[in-house]
Amino acid sequence: VEVDQEDGTNLLATVTQRWGWGNEVEIDQEGRNATAHVTQGGSYNDAEIDQSGSSSYFGWGSSGVAAYVTQYGRGNDAEITQTGRNLTAHINQYGSYNEAEISQRSTRPHVASISQWGYRNDASITQR
């Protein structure tokens, strides 16, 4: 599944793959107030979210750019890359041999978290 949203405001992308193997999701968003949600169940699935943008208003109280990935199973990969202002990224993985990576570049507030339950999981967060 590929979702491409550019030059917009109040962008929303939601992809749910309840069960399967080898599924791929790629979401690209560029604009203001962009939100992406991916939920995958199964094994060896990939989720990639690439966002660039900011909030409609400057400051802490605005929604900005947000990405959420939840994966259940074994050998799944999740990657969130964000640039802009007021960035939020969260990855939750349940299972084993999963990989998660968040990369954020921002001049304003940014928040990131990765939670993994299981064993032999790998996680990385980079904020600049």
Q: pLDDT tens digits for 36-62?
A: 999 999 999 999 999 998 775 554 445
**What does the H/E/C string look like for the chain?**
CEEEEEEEEEEEEEEEECCCECCEEEEEEEEEEEEEEEEEECECCEEEEEEEEECCCCCCCCCCEEEEEEEECCCCEEEEEEEECCEEEEEEEECCCCEEEEEEEECCCEEEEEEEECCCCEEEEEEC
pTM of the model: 0.92
Q: pLDDT value at position 53?
A: 86
